[in-house]
Structure 1
Amino acid sequence: MSELSDALKECGALQFGEFTLASGAKSDYYINIKKASTDPKVLGLIARLMADKVRENGIEADRIAGVVLGAVPLEAALALETGLPFVMVRKEKKDHGTGKQIEGDLNAGETILMVEDVVTTAGSCVKGIQVLREAGADVKWVLSVIDREAGGAEALEAEGVRFIPLVKGSELLGER
């Protein structure tokens, strides 16, 4: 995936220093996928690579899903590439408006491909999977841009979900 690694580096998504990750872990590098997903060229590349993975892995989903905020541009771009509709999963139910935790149409029994930006421990992804399952969805796959290789793959496997990253953190760092 050197094309993706190069694009992430060129747009400034790969950063070095002292960072605290969403999981609470400390890291000497950070992958700011929002920098990549707000760049049309890089977002287009990610969407094409994700669509390739969908085809290569024989994924036949009814719908794409992702947790707000990081996954939203990724799932929208992938929806445009594949023609699959998507839903957005909020981390918490809204306390105003419709009070929904899932935005978009979701029908019980639908097969879901979940999209993530960066998977570290997969904590927010697992919560999103649980919300979707409570709504009657069958989440079978998680497709992410980056696997930081910090237990996320194992956590998703424990949920009975197949994890497919575009690139692993060690590959990204190894190509510096």
Structure 2
Amino acid sequence: MSDDEILAEFRAADALLEGHFILSSGLRSPRYLQCARVLMDGVRAGRLASELASRIPAELRERIDVVISPAMGGVIIGHEMGRALGRPAMFVERPQGVFELRRGFHLNPGARVLMVEDVVTTGLSSREAIEAVRAAGGDVVAEAALVDRSGGNADLGVPFFPLIQIDVPTYEADALPPDLASIPAVKPGSRAAA
């Protein structure tokens, strides 16, 4: 799939929003990708996951034992990546504000994990989820994501394979351009702003 074809999938699902958004990092943006909308169609989610899986080098794909994603945003794409790779899929969640494996999920010591996110902006959630996997005995060998919004700047400490890179400007709340400052801010994500 080309970048234009991938973006067409987002547009067809009304998943590319325009306005004034507060991102989970606390930064502000004039555009927001609502990956839950693009993933709500199982056929589309499977198609995107298969394409994403194909972008991970074959020798690395073969080493993956399990796919783990952070809840909530990564759960659907993580599940679909597990299906595309023929590997089990689990997720970490934050019942007390810190990611952990729950629901009877466990890792064999040294299990090789592919971390899967919907969107990476600063990489904070990814780094926190990777740390939780390490604490549970896993070895995160790479990360994959539908969208890299970091401008290629997210340092996850592991190889990173995004389906598409979308450069959308982000701003600190006290440094907004006038046109963005004139629009009421909304928080569409699932994590409290920093």
| Other-structure match for 2:166 | 169
Larger fraction in helix:
1
| Other-structure match for 2:68 | 65
Unaligned runs of 5+ in 2: 169-194
Aligned pair count reads 162
Deviates more, 1:50-59 or 1:1-10: 50-59
Q: CA RMSD in A?
A: 2.1
Identity %: 30
Unaligned runs of 5+ in 1: 95-99, 172-176
SS of match in other structure, 2:126: helix
After TM superposition, list the pairs within 5 Å mapping 1:39-50 onto structure 2.
Answer: 39-50=41-52
C-alpha separation in 2, matches of 1:121 and 1:136: 25
After TM superposition, list the pairs within 5 Å mapping 1:136-147 onto structure 2.
Answer: 136-147=137-148
SS of match in other structure, 1:136: coil
Q: CA deviation at 1:93?
A: 5.2
| Other-structure match for 2:84 | 81
C-alpha separation in 1, matches of 2:25 and 2:149: 11
- TM-score normalised to structure 1 length: 0.84
C-alpha separation in 2, matches of 1:142 and 1:9: 25
- TM-score normalised to structure 2 length: 0.76
Instruction: Indicate the structure (1 or 2) with the bigger Cα radius of gyration.
Output: 2
Q: Cα deviation per residue 1:84-128 (whole Å; 9 max; x = unaligned)? A: 01221012359xxxxx63442311101110000000011111111
C-alpha separation in 1, matches of 2:60 and 2:137: 22
What letter is aligned with 2:124? G
1:108 equivalent to 2:109? Answer yes
Work out which structure has the larger RCO, using CA pairs closer than 8 Å and 6 or more positions apart in sequence. Answer: 2
Q: Runs of at least 4 residues of structure 1 off by over 6 A?
A: none
